[in-house]
Amino acid sequence: MARIAKLGNLLRRRARRFKSDDDGVTIIEFALLAFPFFALMGAILETGLYLFASQVFDSAVDDASRTILVGTATNSQSDFRNKICETTFGLIECDRIKIRIRPIASFSAANPTPPVDADGNWVLTEQMNAGSPRQVMLVEAYYKWSTFLSFDYGFQKYGNTVLLSSARVFMNEPGAG
């Protein structure tokens, strides 16, 4: 019984001494918090970059669509793709943009179809038809944005890519063409 008491006293003294010694506490706290902190910072940066690229892509498609609206566009997919890339500031690789531009019967007939299947493979048939004056047009542009981290941000992911998309519906100007 005496041995147990001595052992108890020894443990209490060592615990008090350990409790009062705070050397290395900062490094232990940093080690515990570093991974969650840097993971959160990476997720914030990547999400911000994705949202910025999405906005830039959408604005670029809007600007390029204006050439169709006023009748200065050619029926060339590469010309339209290059027009989009003029204002993407190098964020988008031009040759990876998929486009479908076609006349539709009315504004209510604007129904974009998914450009990829469930596995993320392209099923979009590219098309470029700038239409004629007073024709309702549907302009669709898609791009697979590569992600760096494999977090799930709530966006539909296909492997390490997220789909950027932009669509415009408008009626060509009467003098267009």
Long-range contacts of 151-157 (CB under 8 A, 24+ apart): 151/39, 151/42, 151/43, 151/46, 153/43, 153/46, 153/47, 153/50, 155/50
User: What dihedral angle (degrees, nearest 10) is formed by the CA atoms of 81, 85, 91, 97?
Assistant: 0
Q: Please compute Rg for the chain using Cα positions.
A: 29
118-174 pLDDT per residue, tens: 888 999 999 999 999 999 999 999 999 988 887 666 777 788 888 999 999 999 998
Top pLDDT among 46 and 12 is at: 46
Location of structure tokens 């408008």 = 170
Q: Which two tokens stand for residue 111?
A: 């129904």
Considering the chain, what is the average pLDDT of its residues? 88
Confidence of residue 176 (pLDDT cuts 50, 70, 90): low
What's the confidence (pLDDT) of residue 158?
83
pLDDT confidence of residue 153: 64
pTM of this structure: 0.80
Burial of 126 (0-12, 13-18, 19+ CB in 10 A): middle
Task: Using the predicted structure, report yes or no on whether residue 79 has a pLDDT greater than 90.
Answer: yes
Residue 84, Cβ neighbours under 10 Å: how many? 23
Question: Which among 47, 35, 7 has a CA at the least distance from the CA of 149?
Answer: 47
Residue 86 binned pLDDT confidence (cut-offs 50, 70, 90): very high
Tokens of 28: 């232990």
pLDDT at 119: 87
